[in-house]
C-alpha cells in the first residue's frame, strides 16, 4: 500500500467551480485580471458576449465575441451554463463545454459573471462555491463608477440603481471578499479556490 494515498496530509477538497459576482464597478474584472496574471493554474472561463470588443481585448482570451445569431444558437443548443442580458443591453453567457472539460481535468475553475448568471449557476451547479465581491463602502463604489467616466449621467444612475439591488444580494453568497486592494482580494480568492499565494 502506498502511504501517500491515505491522504492524511491532504488539503481539504476545494469546490470545482467558483462563481465571482458583485455589484457594478466593484472591480470584478480587475480582480479576475489579477487572478489571470498571478495564478495561471486557475482556469478563468471565457464568456461569450454580443458586445463589441474594447481596445486591447482579445477574442478568445477576454471574451468570445459573437453575433446575436451565434449567441442564440449557443443558447438554443443548450451550450450555455447560464446567460443574461447585462445592463439591459448586451448578452453574456458561460459556454458549458469548456467548464465541464476543466472540471474533469481537476483544474480550479472561476466564473466572473453577473448576479442573474450566478443565480442560474446555483440552480444548475449547487455544489459550486459562490463568492460575493463587495466594495469597502458605498462611497467607494460610487467613486469607482463616476471616476471611470465612460458613462452618461443617465446610464450612471441606471447602473447605481442596479448596484443598490445587487449589494442587497450579498446574503445569497457563501463568502464575501472586500475589494480594498486588488492583489489582496485576488489572493483571498485564490485561497478559496485552493491555490496558495505566490508570496
Mask for 67-86, x = binds ligand 5GP (CB under 6 A)? ---------------x-x-x
Instruction: For the chain, give the number of residues.
Output: 199
How many residues in the shown chain lie near ligand 5GP by CB under 6 A? 15
| List 16, 27, 93, 108, residue binding ligand 5GP (CB under 6 A) | 93
Instruction: Pick the closest to residue 116 from 54, 172, 180, 182 (CA basis).
Output: 172
CB 172 to ligand 5GP: min, Å: 15
* Least distance CB 181 / ligand 5GP (angstroms): 20
- Nearest distance from C-beta of residue 12 to ligand 5GP, angstroms: 28
What is the Cα–Cα distance from 132 to 121, expressed in whole angstroms?
14
95-to-78, 83, 152, 169, 187 alpha-carbon distances in Å: 9, 9, 31, 24, 26
CB of 1 to ligand 5GP, least distance (A): 45
Of 34, 99, 113, 189, the one binding ligand 5GP (CB under 6 A) is 113
- The distance of closest approach from Cβ of residue 139 to ligand 5GP in the complex, given in angstroms and rounded to an integer, is 20
Instruction: Please state, in angstroms and rounded to a whole number, the distance separating the CA atoms of residues 135 and 166.
Output: 12
**Angle 187-46-178 from CA coordinates, rounded to 5°:** 30
- Cell numbers placing 63: 471574451
Question: Residues in the site for ligand 5GP, rule: CB under 6 A?
Answer: 28-29, 47, 51, 82, 84, 86, 92-94, 112-114, 116-117
Amino acid at each position: 500500500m502506498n502511504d501517500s494515498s491515505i491522504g492524511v496530509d491532504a488539503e481539504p477538497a476545494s469546490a470545482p467551480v467558483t462563481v465571482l459576482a458583485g455589484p457594478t464597478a466593484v472591480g470584478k474584472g480587475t480582480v479576475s485580471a489579477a487572478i489571470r496574471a498571478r495564478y495561471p493554474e486557475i482556469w478563468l472561463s471565457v464568456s461569450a458576449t454580443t458586445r463589441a470588443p474594447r481596445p486591447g481585448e482579445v477574442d478568445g482570451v477576454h471574451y468570445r465575441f459573437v453575433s446575436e445569431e451565434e449567441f442564440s444558437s449557443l443558447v438554443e443548443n443548450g451550450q450555455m451554463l447560464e446567460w443574461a442580458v447585462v445592463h439591459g443591453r448586451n448578452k453574456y453567457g458561460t459556454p458549458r463545454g469548456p467548464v465541464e472539460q476543466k472540471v474533469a481535468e481537476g483544474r480550479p475553475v472561476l466564473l466572473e459573471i453577473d448576479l442573474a448568471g450566478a443565480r442560474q449557476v446555483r440552480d444548475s451547479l449547487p455544489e459550486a462555491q459562490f463568492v460575493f465581491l463587495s466594495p469597502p463602502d458605498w462611497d467607494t463604489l460610487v467613486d469607482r463608477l463616476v471616476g471611470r467616466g465612460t458613462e452618461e449621467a443617465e446610464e450612471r444612475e441606471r447602473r447605481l440603481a442596479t448596484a443598490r439591488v445587487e449589494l442587497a444580494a450579498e446574503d445569497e453568497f457563501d463568502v464575501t471578499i472586500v475589494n480594498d486592494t486588488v492583489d489582496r482580494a485576488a489572493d483571498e480568492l485564490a485561497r478559496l479556490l485552493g491555490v496558495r499565494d505566490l508570496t
